[in-house]
């Protein structure tokens, strides 16, 4: 008769530990180590990620974030996934920067609907000095509502970031999108180094960093590992790490990309949790196409924030009622509630 091996008989899968012996997150990851995490058996990977998640966060809490496009379309960048690029014909009409009072009013609706964090996004290659006062007014007004504030406005200078920080900006979003090796396939109007330089400017201004990427753009697993390597080897890990699933937009170069396998998406979330253990890992674009079960696996893997409100810039999200029901069914509650 064959006797099943005990736990002590089973060799532990080899993959690097995410924390040093003193409990400090590592910043010396290698591509090979991160690829080894991706290669772990699925249940082992999720167990490790869930274990690390509990070292810093309450696993029953989810932060609810809402994103408003305060200036839509007409962007000079040629990001191959984006409906707002002026390089592609996607049928999206460009608009001017919204009035601060209108933004603040929408932030109040978001707060009253359950959002805890309010993000303001503008389709710009870089921030212009002339727009800083209006943006500062928006940020101050949103902050006064008791919401955590975030903005994504393209590349920005130090004095601009300092002005937004003074107005009450908590986070600045500037995604790397993909790995450096894969980057030129996605965008050519801005270099990877320019993105890294912007992150450094955000840090210098004392604003927290929100930085992640997009998966499902036809990239390889090595490219997904390379994106997480870039984030995990920054001098300081992003405090906020959004993971977007591509929503293919007709008329864009990546509009015909095949969807990423759901389990591979969960693997990406889990590895992000392991290599940046103190970051808030955010489910961002693409949730509209995810089942409740897939999202539940993402929360198990260490995601602890999601964007709500029916729309993420120009792409759809589930409605707030459906999200509230899902959280109730999973026994999850808003962060800090």
The string of DSSP codes covering 79-127 is: -TT-TTBTTS--SPPP-PPPPHHHHHHHHHHHHHTT-SEEEEEE--SB-
Digit-coded pLDDT (tens) for 143-158? 999 999 999 999 999 9
The 10 Å Cβ neighbour count of residue 301 is 26
Q: 80-93: per-residue pLDDT in tens?
A: 677 666 676 666 67
State phi, psi for 144 to the nearest 5 degrees: -65, -20
Question: Mean per-residue pLDDT for 171-176?
Answer: 95
> What pLDDT, in 10s, does the model give residues 17-59?
777 766 788 999 999 999 999 999 999 999 999 999 999 999 9
How confident is the model over 211-215, as a mean pLDDT? 95
Greatest extent of the chain over all pairs of C-alpha atoms, in Å: 79
Whether the pLDDT of residue 76 is over 80: the answer is: no
Residue 286 and residue 324: Cα distance in Å, rounded? Answer: 18
- Determine which of 33-47, 173-187, 195-209, 309-323 has the lowest per-residue pLDDT on average: 309-323
Per residue, what are the HEC states of 262-305? Answer: HHHHHHHHHHHHHHCCCCEEEECCCHHHCCHHHHHHHHHCCCCE
Looking at residue 315, what is its pLDDT?
A: 55
If one counts every other C-beta atom within 10 angstroms of the C-beta of residue 255, the result is: 16
Q: Using alpha carbons only, what angle is made at residue 24 by residues 20 and 28, rounded to the nearest 5 degrees? A: 65
Mean pLDDT of the chain: 88
Supply the pTM of this predicted model.
Answer: 0.89
Q: Which positions are catalytic?
A: 75, 79, 82, 119, 150, 210, 282
Neighbours of 278 (CB within 10 A): 16
| pLDDT score of 174 more than 80 | yes
- The dihedral of CA 124, 254, 66, 264: what is its sign? negative
pLDDT digits (tens, 9 = 90+) for 226-242: 999 999 999 999 999 99
* Top-tier CATH class for 32-330: alpha beta
H/E run at residue 171: strand 171-173
Higher pLDDT, 23 or 120: 120
DSSP class per residue in 213-224: EEE-SS--HHHH
H/E stretch holding 69 reads: strand 61-71
Does the structure show a pLDDT above 60 at 5? no
Segments making up each domain of the chain, as ranges:
32-330
The per-residue pLDDT for 241 is: 97
| pLDDT of amino acid 88 | 64
């Amino acid at each position: 008769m064959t006797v099943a091996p005990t736990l002590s008989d089973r060799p532990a899968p080899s993959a690097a530990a995410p924390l040093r012996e003193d409990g400090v997150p590592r910043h010396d990851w290698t591509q090979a180590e991160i690829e080894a995490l991706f290669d772990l058996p699925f249940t082992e990977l999720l167990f490790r990620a869930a274990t690390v998640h509990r070292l810093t966060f309450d696993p029953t809490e989810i932060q609810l974030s809402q994103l408003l496009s305060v200036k839509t379309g007409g962007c000079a960048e040629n990001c191959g996934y984006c409906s707002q690029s002026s390089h592609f014909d996607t049928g999206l009409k460009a608009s001017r920067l919204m009035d601060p009072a209108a933004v603040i009013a929408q932030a109040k609706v978001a707060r009253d609907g359950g959002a805890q964090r309010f993000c303001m996004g503008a389709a710009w290659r870089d921030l212009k000095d002339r727009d800083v006062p209006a943006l500062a007014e928006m940020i101050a007004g949103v902050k006064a509502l008791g919401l955590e504030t975030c903005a994504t406005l393209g590349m920005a200078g130090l004095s601009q970031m300092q002005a937004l920080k003074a107005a009450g900006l908590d986070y600045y979003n500037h995604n790397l999108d993909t790995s450096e090796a894969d980057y030129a396939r996605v965008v050519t109007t801005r270099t990877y180094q320019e993105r890294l330089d912007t992150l450094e400017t955000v840090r210098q201004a004392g604003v927290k960093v929100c930085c992640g990427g997009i998966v499902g753009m036809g990239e390889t697993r090595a490219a997904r590992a390379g994106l997480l390597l870039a984030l995990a080897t920054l001098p300081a890990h992003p405090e906020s790490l959004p993971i977007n699933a591509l929503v293919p937009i007709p008329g864009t170069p990546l509009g015909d990309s095949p969807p990423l396998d759901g389990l591979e998406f969960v693997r990406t979330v889990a590895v992000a949790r392991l290599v940046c253990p103190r970051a808030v890992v955010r489910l961002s674009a693409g949730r509209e196409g995810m089942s409740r079960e897939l999202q539940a696996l993402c929360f198990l893997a260490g995601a602890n924030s999601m964007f709500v409100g029916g729309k993420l810039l120009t792409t759809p999200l589930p409605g707030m009622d459906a999200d509230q029901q899902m959280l109730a069914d999973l026994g999850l509650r808003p962060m800090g509630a």
